[in-house]
Structure 1
């Protein structure tokens, strides 16, 4: 009987090759943290396969290789840290392509505790935002805009103390703004626009680093909230805010202010118009009854655009608008303004003003002489007033009010 000799492994033997491959795969799959791999797999399982196109990022997620140590064509949209020691790599960013993935965001997302960026914009994720989002305490950027998320903002969002950028716009979210959100002191950008939020907006001055606030196209009501003085861009349009605009007078850094399409009333205050850095101001489609314009000469105002159409403005056209040296676009149409067009307006229309809309008021008298020159290069409309307005002049096209509507309008 032949004596058996112990098996010896050769570098070229099939058994050695098999063991080597097995050990290598084991090492590969241990490079990225196990919880992170599982979380990525669950994200894929929550997406309808029919919405994953061959060219999509998700289609490149090949779990036969390591997510953090794959080639450039695999695991698109994923970033990882690469530790210098022997610890496992962690996923630090998910930045999906916006091609219309359909499905739900798994609560397991909360296990990716090293995430700093989570971007799911321009897809079709639906259902609630998982409460486990509060576990992602290193997040600096969270963007879920243009999806179908429903429900409210999870209270757990207060745990994201490092969050700087939050965009939940264009979803189907509802409820109120959580009272604890003012604890997100690192926020510089907040957009909740185009949702179904409602209720009163609390004092937001705690967000003292905030530069941009967009809560437009919702159903917020009540008085305007107190806002952080750091704000530069404010979008509160298309809500149901009422009362006056006093809370805005101390926003000394604001540059773009849109409070259109609400139920605000009273006076368009001089201290709002005179905010030094405001370049775009839209107060249209409200219930303001007067506009108080002070002489802006020498005060350094940067106002370029004033939209105040469709209010209840009464009185004469404000002459002091001509003292705002950067102003180029004015819209005061669809109000109840009366009296003549100031002669000072004519000079501005020949020089720096590019658009002037005064239609649908009760203005009277003749056009400024400068408007009769063919070289005048501006756009606008003076139609539907009580003016002596020749139809061969472009701004007069559309005609004027009948005399019966103009009688007694000087008493407005």
Structure 2
């Protein structure tokens, strides 16, 4: 009888233990394993590719202490690293590398391509050199790629075009050569693209496939040919210091445009009314091209937002465009170093007493007397009228620099 009771007790105890164990198995684990070994190895390769003499004691790289786990570190180790900490038992993964711009010298190792969960790679303001490795194409989850202000060389890897989740690319201020890879024109999520200050060249493909692009900066390169077709979503366009030629026609459909800089190119023809009438444009810089005319109509009914107009250093001819006074928000105008002639409209003088704050008309062939308002400008208004053919009183500071010799004026336009 006693034996049977003992047997039943043991059996009940075993059942209870089984229930407890089963219950514990249903409770989610609150622990997770360490960082994936291949991710750690990739970080090691990154450090090995950097000259240790460029790693300052206070820098992020100096904090990478491989005696601790990168994703488990809770102290001042592995600065500039972010991880994904899973709720299950899978390994942690590195999702962001955001280095300090401390002047690290070295190369970007191909091992970067093993960090396949990476969403952000930011190594701006350093001294990395050599090419960007083709393994960059393995980072299919990357949304932000920023390597500006380094010494990278070679072509832009076409593999970047495979990173369909990219929203932000900044490759500016490097030494990249070649042209824009065709596959980059299909990055549908891209909102920001800067390739400025490189040695890029060639014609630019149709970019309308980048239909969410907000900002495009390709200034200070050697791109040539006609201006490309651009996505209508653009708000900021910087094309200065290239060798673009032809006309501005392809820009007239950019209805969201706010900032346009196409200065220092070889564009010609007219500064078209369709560009000047883009209502949201605040800053327009078309300086140092080969434009010969400016098609300005009366815009008082359209209320364009244009605040600054820079058109110096062209071949603009004829009389000064009087309809500029119809731009109700315009405060800064630079029409210097052109071929304008004739009288200065009295309406310009009236604007100087109300809205205009800077007016540069120097180095033209303007003639006649100054409108009365020009001699009574306030001290916070900047005006430059030197090197024209004006009858400008010597005591008027606006004419500083003097006027052209009469022989030079007669040789160009009748005074």
Fold in common (TM above 0.5): yes
Distance 1:310 1:282 in 2: 11
Distance 1:234 1:293 in 2: 22
Bigger Rg, which one: 2
Partner in structure 2 of residue 220 of structure 1: 223
Secondary structure of 2:118 counterpart: coil
Match of 2:363 among 346, 360, 363: 360
Partner in structure 1 of residue 176 of structure 2: 173
Kept after mapping to 2: 8 A contact 1:370/1:376 = no
Partner in structure 2 of residue 273 of structure 1: 276
Distance 1:38 1:374 in 2: 69
Secondary structure of 1:68 counterpart: coil
Aligned-pair RMSD on alpha carbons?
1.3
Partner in structure 1 of residue 297 of structure 2: 294
Match of 1:45 among 35, 45, 48: 48
Does 2:128 align with 1:91? no
Does 2:117 align with 1:114? yes
Does 2:57 align with 1:54? yes
**Count of residue pairs the alignment pairs up:** 385
Cα deviation, residue 183, structure 1 = 1.1
Does 2:196 align with 1:184? no
* Cα displacement string for residues 231-268 of structure 1 (whole angstroms, at most 9, x for unaligned residues): 00000000000001110011111000000000000000
Cα deviation, residue 408, structure 1 = 5.2
1:315-330 mapped onto 2 (5 Å cutoff)? 315-330=318-333
Match of 1:129 among 127, 132, 144: 132
Match of 1:141 among 144, 153, 156: 144
Distance 1:290 1:141 in 2: 42
Cα deviation, residue 72, structure 1 = 3.4
Secondary structure of 1:173 counterpart: coil
Does 2:254 align with 1:251? yes
Partner in structure 1 of residue 36 of structure 2: 33
Match of 2:337 among 299, 320, 334: 334
Partner in structure 1 of residue 163 of structure 2: 160
Cα deviation, residue 394, structure 1 = 1.8
Cα deviation, residue 375, structure 1 = 3.5
Distance 2:48 2:380 in 1: 60
Distance 1:395 1:231 in 2: 39
Kept after mapping to 2: 8 A contact 1:29/1:66 = no
Kept after mapping to 1: 8 A contact 2:131/2:153 = yes
Cα deviation, residue 230, structure 1 = 0.3
Partner in structure 1 of residue 6 of structure 2: none
Distance 1:401 1:411 in 2: 13
Does 2:394 align with 1:402? no
* Cα displacement string for residues 22-68 of structure 1 (whole angstroms, at most 9, x for unaligned residues): xxxxxx99510111000000000000000000000000000000000
1:299-310 mapped onto 2 (5 Å cutoff)? 299-310=302-313
Secondary structure of 1:79 counterpart: strand
Distance 1:72 1:318 in 2: 65
Distance 1:411 1:275 in 2: 36
Cα deviation, residue 391, structure 1 = 2.6
Partner in structure 2 of residue 375 of structure 1: 378
Partner in structure 1 of residue 27 of structure 2: none
Q: Which runs of 5+ in 1 are unaligned?
A: 1-27
Distance 1:226 1:401 in 2: 43
Kept after mapping to 2: 8 A contact 1:357/1:381 = yes
Runs of 4+ in 1 over 6 A off after TM superposition: none
* Cα displacement string for residues 61-117 of structure 1 (whole angstroms, at most 9, x for unaligned residues): 000000001023110000001110011100000000001000000001000000000
Partner in structure 2 of residue 233 of structure 1: 236
Does 2:70 align with 1:67? yes
Distance 2:255 2:243 in 1: 25
Query: What is the TM-score when the length of structure 1 is the normalising length?
Result: 0.92
